[in-house]
Amino acid sequence: MKLRLSPQTLLVLDAFLEHADEWKYGYDLSRVTGLKSGTLYPILMRMAERNLLETQWEASEPGKPPRHMYRFTQEGLQFARANASAHAGGRLSEVALGLVEG
Amino acid sequence: MGAPRRLARALLGSVLRLAPEESREWVLAMLRELDFIDGEWSALLWALGSTVAILGHAAKGWRKWITRRKDSEEGKMTSTGKKALGFASGALLALLLALSGVGLVQIITVLFPGLGLQHLHWPHFLGAIVIPEIIFVVSAILLWRKRTPVAAGILLMGIGIGIHVALHLAMR
């Protein structure tokens, strides 16, 4: 299933490619990409529905509410890299070509 | 905790209670992030944006549900239940049209007493029976090929109303 590659989606893919193996939080992604929650979460939801993202609740200490975390699936990483080469010139492509371990 | 953050928390709490099952995990995720947002107004903006996102997500789910339902109903077009539903819809539409005709004439009579419609019979015949019956026949002919049960419902209700009016006149 394809994901519409709007500039905002590319920003999110870009943010995920940065240390792609690490789990990321919604608010941190919002700060990194500059996207508001109303824009960011629909993108995250679509990516998760298309199996490009895996989600997990952070195991936290008692009394502290867990946070939802997101990370690329293998499929997501491949998708982001493929689109990085299609959108050459941005940070997305730089990261995909050299800085991300896969 | 300031008022904007309290409002943000209350808003997302309400969304969590009202959200469909498939959206709840996401609402909870957005709610949890509130604790990490610096600034009261930023928290409120976060909650507002999140609410919009969840509304969109829920709307997408409803659209899918409606589309699935529509598709499955179209698949059953030939079934007896569908035909019965079509027939009943046609009959109901015809009845509503006839009642609207009667109502319209009554309203005009009350609103414009100067027209003297209360003393005339033909406007009542025209509004309550002649015009609706013409509409019934024309719509039944137009719908017969594509929506036969609906057309049959309209036609039968039209005949029923016609008989009713004829009997009413005969008894007077």
DSSP letters for B47-65: HHHHHHHHHHHHHHHHHHH
Q: How far is B73 from chain A (nearest CA, A)?
A: 26
3-class DSSP assignment, residue A60: coil
Best of B22, B26, B31 to disrupt the A interface (most A CBs within 10 Å) is: B26
CB-CB under 8 Å, B53 with A38: yes
d(CA A98, CA A81): 11
Clarify whether residues B66 and B83 are in a common domain: no
Write the DSSP assignment of B101-115 as a string of letters: HHHHHHHHHHH-GGG
Clarify whether residues B113 and B160 are in a common domain: yes
Clarify whether residues B134 and B91 are in a common domain: yes
pLDDT digits (tens, 9 = 90+) for B1-56: 788 899 999 999 999 998 888 889 999 999 999 989 988 999 999 999 999 999 99
Cβ B101 vs Cβ B132: under 8 Å: yes
Clarify whether residues B91 and B160 are in a common domain: yes
Clarify whether residues B52 and B85 are in a common domain: no
CB-CB under 8 Å, A39 with B32: no
CB-CB under 8 Å, A41 with B32: no
CB-CB under 8 Å, A41 with B30: yes
Clarify whether residues B83 and B148 are in a common domain: yes
Q: Is the pTM of this model over 0.80?
A: no
pLDDT tens per residue across all 102 residues of chain A: 567 788 899 999 999 998 888 999 999 999 999 999 999 999 999 999 999 999 999 877 777 788 999 999 999 999 998 887 666 555 554 544 444 443
What domain count does chain B have?
Answer: 2
Domain limits at B37? 3-76
pLDDT digits (tens, 9 = 90+) for B45-78: 999 999 999 999 888 877 877 887 777 766 665 6
